[in-house]
Structure 1
Amino acid sequence: MATVAQVWSPQGWDLIFKRALNDWEISRVAGLLQVLNPFPGVIEGPERPIWKFPTKGVSL
């Protein structure tokens, strides 16, 4: 198991699998990378949750 920071770098994703992928799994990994590629990156600093839904008038 790895954290996002361990498998992401400014050069891209460095996914390492425990075993060789079967032919039919390659397209699934390609789909996963298409989902991951828009990721804006990892920023240095403490982790904090980000709530993307309305706060109903409560400011943080």
Structure 2
Amino acid sequence: MYQRTFNKAQQSIEDGQILSPFLLRSAHQVLLSFGQGIDKNPGQFKIEQNYLSNKA
């Protein structure tokens, strides 16, 4: 799945499409359209901030 999505994005770029938010969201939508990611807003940018902790 990942390799197929990457290859499709790469082919789009080779065909003249620029690396754009549209292309990134399209690839993201394909990757998250199956399995665990389906409820994670496939094809959309995150709007909430991540928090990283220094706790071990």
TM value normalised by structure 1:
0.34
Which structure is richer in relative contact order (CA contacts within 8 A, separation 6 or more)? Answer: 1
Larger-gyration structure (1/2): 1
Which has more helix, going by share of residues?
A: 2
